[in-house]
Amino acid sequence: MASAPTSKDVQSVSGITVRLAGDSGDGMQLLGTQLTNTSALAGNDVATFPDFPAEIRAPRGTRAGVSGFQVQFASEEIFTPGDTLDALVVMNPAAMVTNLDDLRKGGILIANEDGFNDKEFKLAKVEANPLDATVVQDTYRVIQVPMTRLTRDAVAEFDLGTKLADRCKNFFAMGLVYWLFGRSLDPTLRFINNKFGRKPEVAAANEAALRAGWAFGETTEAFGESYQVDAANLKAGTYRNIMGNQALAWGLIAASKLSEKNLFYGTYPITPASDILHELTKYKNFGVRTFQAEDEIAAVCATIGAAFGGSMSVTASSGPGIALKAEGMGLGMILELPMIVINVQRGGPSTGLPTKTEQSDLLQAMYGRNGESPLPILAPQSPADCFNVAIEAWRIATQCMVPVMILSDGYIANGSEPWRIPTMDSLPKIKIHHPEGTDPDEPFMPYARDEYLARPWAIPGTPGLMHRVGGLEKEDKTGNVSYDPMNHQHMTDTRAAKVSRIAEQIPAQEVYGEATGDVLVVSWGGTYGACQTAVRRCQEAGHQVSHAHVRYMNPLPANLGELLRGFRKVLVPELNTGQLRMLLRSIYLVDCIGINKVQGKPFTVTELVGSIESHVATASRPTAESNAG
């Protein structure tokens, strides 16, 4: 039995952005994912941004230990988890002081007042109760709820003991949030039943806490009304909520089925890529073999070994691990074997910011190997897009016999959004050819090439095609070791041409808005949502701004240079210090202006709109230089 409809007033709004913040042990990530799923099931468009510390259990109550989960749910199409918060739920003072700046003026601040005491003030390094500050009381709608006490009362009948009882308080908070935003309790009740079914008293206590939270919202005088967000107008189909790493894993399995290959995934644990391993290893009955290697190098090399044997072979890591894999990737490149290398980027350099997002490995992907060793690079633009990119990467890898890199990032990997579920029948098959034994009088040429400049993928076990591959430069066609100067020139040129010719196969760069004009915003990877939303706002404000979001990073789409030249100004927002900008300038000799940020956080729409608008003013008038021409 779900919640009864509220008897209070309901105000309809187009979208809500909420952040849930507490100690890393407070269950905020669980609360966030439940709210997301429930909102998605209500038909809203959703986008999420989990933000957690690198430490598994940072000291309790401290600012370093604060874990947050932000979700935006809306009745219109959205691309980001939102900039400023309509509501902020905080479980302790540390969560409050580290998150309050993002709450909009007049926004709702819900605080667990039981978490605000002298001990907690000390841990959070605040002098006095921050809830009492006049500026806080005047700026926000502050609602203090004794969540710990009310939860203990609600679960008293189950005799769980204080420790276990207190662990139910995130469900109390959830119930209250569900009431406030008119969410159904049903999906979370199902979740509780599935998750705690084996411990009936825990399941019952969590349910009681959830219902108590809802009932508190309904009865307290602190809330005069609740909010309703209607279903969004999404494209027809069956949807589910999906996270980026999950979509990557599923895309890889789908690619293996589409190409009738077994998937081998060799990897070493690293944040934020490990969840791909956790996901894939569940699906052994799909023919998936996962290998947790002794180090990053072993992971990439085992992947090459499996590729040599004829498997669909994939490795993944984050920046520091990719640095270790560089020599292996170079070998994969010169062996000309198909495989996928995934980099789920995080803040760098070195160990950097393991749980925070950044886009600073683009140049590493382009140039981070010794010698001339270009590789194709794809970058998904959103969590759900990871599914498509995984399949596309394998298509290119097998067609061209080359390792393909995927540049995801922590923001996409842990974020989620609704995914319109495709049927496997609707996805094009990936055709792979392994040569059979040839005429014994005709020696096998392992480095002969087809129309894509790809060499044959002859696999061990095939009689008559025995051959040796290796990292030494090879003679054209035979693959034998060769130090011949002109051969090296030829092979270097051929390997590069093989990659650059992929531009002929990939779709032309699309542009959102006019194909020529004042300002073009060029973005890539996980910043799609923020850039797209910012460009829409600028267009709505009457500015001549277009958006090109690049998914094929190497080679770049064939029409991109022409597109850039059609605008007075090209702006390149990136979560790095200007890596795509540098590539665009050097490849196309077009001046590009960077909008750059390296704070471990995604762009907000507001800051992008501000930057774009500051450039629109100067771009809309012909400049002195162009007059002089």
Partner 1 sequence: MSLPVLKPADFASDQDVRWCPGCGDYSILAQMKKVLPDLGVPREKTVFISGIGCSSRFPYYMNTYGMHSIHGRAPTFATGLKSTRPDLMVWVITGDGDALSIGGNHFIHALRRNLDINIVLFNNRIYGLTKGQYSPTSVEGQVTKSTPMGSIDHPVSPLSLALAAEATFVARSMDAHVKHLGATLKRAAQHKGASLVEVYQNCNVFNDGAMAYAQEKKQRPENVIELEHGKPLVYANGKKGIRLVGTHLESVSTDDVPVDDLLIHDEKDSNPSIHMMLSRMSYPHMPEPIGVLRAVDNVATYDDQINQQVTDATAQKGDGDLDALFTSGDTWEVS
Please give the residue ranges that form the binding site for partner 1 (CB under 8 A): 37, 40-41, 43, 187, 231, 234-241, 250, 253-254, 257, 262, 264, 266, 283-289, 291, 293-295, 297-299, 301-311, 313, 327-328, 331, 335, 421-424, 460-472, 480-481
Q: Which is nearer to partner 1, 472 or 508 (CB)?
A: 472
- Supply the Cα-derived Rg of the chain in whole angstroms: 27
| CB closer to partner 1, 212 vs 306 | 306
Q: Quick one: which of 44, 51, 59 has its CA closest to 94?
A: 59
- Least Å distance, CB 203 to partner 1, is 18
Nearer CB in complex with partner 1: 256/414: 256
Whole-angstrom distance, CA of residue 218 vs CA of residue 209: 14
Q: Which is nearer to partner 1, 41 or 136 (CB)?
A: 41
- Provide the minimum distance between the beta carbon of 563 and partner 1 in the complex, in angstroms, as a whole number: 33
Residue 66 falls in which region: left (phi positive, over 0), alpha (psi -120 to 50) or beta: beta
Q: Residue 389, SS3?
A: helix
- Residue 135 or 236: the one with the smaller Cβ distance to partner 1 is 236
Residues β-bridged to residue 570: 520
- C-alpha–C-alpha distance, residues 22 and 402, integer Å: 46
* Dist CA 462 CA 66 (whole Å): 57
- Three-state SS for 170-214 is HHHHHHHHHHHCCCCCHHHHHHHHHHHCCCHHHHHHHHHHHHHHH
Q: Measured between alpha carbons, how far is 515 from 413 in angstroms, rounded to an integer?
A: 31
| Closest CB to partner 1 among residues 283, 452 | 283
Minimum Å gap between C-beta 76 and partner 1 is: 14
Residue 249 CB, shortest distance to partner 1, in Å, is 10
User: Nearest approach, Cβ of 463 to partner 1 (angstroms)?
Assistant: 5
Q: How far is the CB of 304 from partner 1 (least distance, A)?
A: 6
Closest to partner 1 by CB, 305 or 566:
305
- Our CB check for partner 1 shows the closer of 62 and 75 to be 75
DSSP 125: T
* Beta strands across the sheet bearing 593-596: 545-550, 517-524, 567-574, 593-596
Q: Do 393 and 258 meet the contact criterion of CB atoms below 8 Å apart?
A: no
Provide, rounded to whole angstroms, the least separation between the CB of residue 462 and partner 1: 6
Cβ-Cβ contacts under 8 Å for 359 (sequence gap 6 or more): 345, 407, 409, 524, 525, 526, 527, 574, 575, 576, 579
Closest to partner 1 by CB, 301 vs 530, is 301
Min CB(214)–partner 1 separation in Å:
20
Q: Are 95 and 23 in contact (CB under 8 A)?
A: yes
Closest to partner 1 by CB, 118 vs 425, is 425
Return the structure tokens found at 47.
């986008």
Tell me how far, at minimum, the Cβ of 117 lies from partner 1, in Å.
38
CB 318 within 8 A of CB 355: no
Q: Are 555 and 500 in contact (CB under 8 A)?
A: yes
- Minimal distance, residue 232 CB to partner 1, in Å: 8
Q: Is the separation of the CB atoms in 375 and 554 below 8 Å?
A: yes
